[in-house]
A and B are shown apart, each in its own frame.
Chain A
Amino acid sequence: MAHVEHLISAYYDGELSARRRRQVEAHLEGCAMCRARLSEMERLSDVLAAYELPDTLTGAETFRAQVALRLARRARRRAGYMSWAWHLVPLGLLSVLLGILGLLAAADLLRGVFALAGWTGVDVLALLGLPDIVGAGTWLHRALFSLVGGLGGLMWKLCAYLGSLFVFAVYVGWVGALWRARTRP
């Protein structure tokens, strides 16, 4: 059998299969060079063992207490952040609600201004710098503006009401969660 230097490390660690181990052992009996490699491996382990852990380590209980303290501090810090975020929820909801109402009011105001000024859809398009591709005054133009204006207004109001309803539901959920958190033993 050829030299088994490449297997000496695994043999020394007891990581060879039984068949391989027997092969290596048979080879070692008759090979002084491979036996020398194995001895070197043993001596290397002895030398490496000299690099011991220092005896100045923190005691086990102190170490455990330090880890527990760090975990507790971190948990408190996180709870603090969460608490802040928690109290910002109604403020956020109020902002969303006010935003929706503000947009509704702005849309109504804009429509009122257009009506007062007597602007038609074509005027609005011109004001926005958009081309009138349908053709002003045609029946198609009137029908489209009427359809878009009607549907748009309806959809907008529907979204606004649903949005308000959602905001209200989230607020009720927040109050419920707060009540649960306060009353939990």
Chain B
Amino acid sequence: MENLSTKSDHELIAQSLGGDSAAFGALVLRYRKLLISVSYRVSGDATLAEDIAQDTFIRVWDRLATFRPQGNFRAWICRIASNMTIDALRRRKPMADVENTVLEAPGDQPETVALKSERAAAVRAALMELPEHTRVALVLREYEGLSYREIADGLDIPIGTVKSRLNDARRRLKVALATFVEG
């Protein structure tokens, strides 16, 4: 049986365009966590993030033929996911209180868990206070490690705008999270 996990994005895309659903499945496996992560950090909601990630893959399947072969697939799907997340956030009511932010690792002391939880909740709240497009740029850089060029290509904005959005995001976050940053 063909080992799809070793194939490049472009090979899998070409196969998917030919109707090979297994190749598309390999792309889903490869980028599932990335899309959930982007959507989760932008929306602050894990359930919504999983739904958005699935919706994103459906849209990617529909629009695969429009993807330019020389383009950056990772940046392209991040853009679709972040746009869909922002649309979903605009459509729905204000979010419920913090959820899924208690990240207990095995062996963590109760104080550590409490601190982690407090930090996570504070970060989530601070992220949600950022303007949407600034938040997306920060998430793509800080959590997904995309380069400025990838972010610029993905969001279809100049690199200078990426820089200014990141500067702005970090400046605001430093203020919002001063207790943790300075402590």
Contact = CB atoms under 8 A, between A and B. Distances in A.
Contacts of A130: none
B174 A70 contact: no
Interface string B40-66: 110000100010011001100100000
Interface in A8-66: 9-10, 13, 15, 40-41, 43-45, 47-48, 50-58, 60-61, 63-64, 66
Interface in A67-86: 67-68, 70-71, 74
A58 B120 CA distance: 21
A44 B103 contact: no
A57 B173 CA distance: 27
Given A47-B177, A51-B120, A57-B50, A67 B147 contact: no
Contacts of B127: 51
Contacts of B17: none
B74 interface: no
**Most chain B beta-carbon neighbours within 10 Å: one of A6, A13, A54, A61:** A54
17 contacts: A10-B163, A13-B148, A15-B163, A41-B170, A45-B142, A47-B181, A50-B120, A53-B36, A56-B46, A57-B36, A57-B46, A60-B32, A63-B32, A64-B25, A67-B28, A67-B54, A70-B54
Contact of B163 (A9, A53, A74): A9
Contacts of A6: 167
Top 3 closest pairs, chain A to chain B, by CB: A50-B119, A54-B100, A51-B123
Contacts of A57: 33, 36, 46, 50
Contacts of B21: 68, 71
A152 B127 CA distance: 74
Nearest to B53: A63
Contact of B170 (A44, A58, A63, A70): A44
Contacts of B79: none
Contacts of B148: 10, 13, 15
Nearest to B61: A71
A53 B37 contact: yes
Contacts of B54: 63, 66-67, 70
B58 A44 contact: no
B39 to A, nearest CB: 10
Contacts of B57: 67
B48 to A, nearest CB: 12
A9 B148 CA distance: 11
A66 to B, nearest CB: 6
A51 B29 contact: no
A70 B103 CA distance: 31
Contact of A47 (B36, B61, B123, B166): B123
Contact of B33 (A53, A70, A71): A53
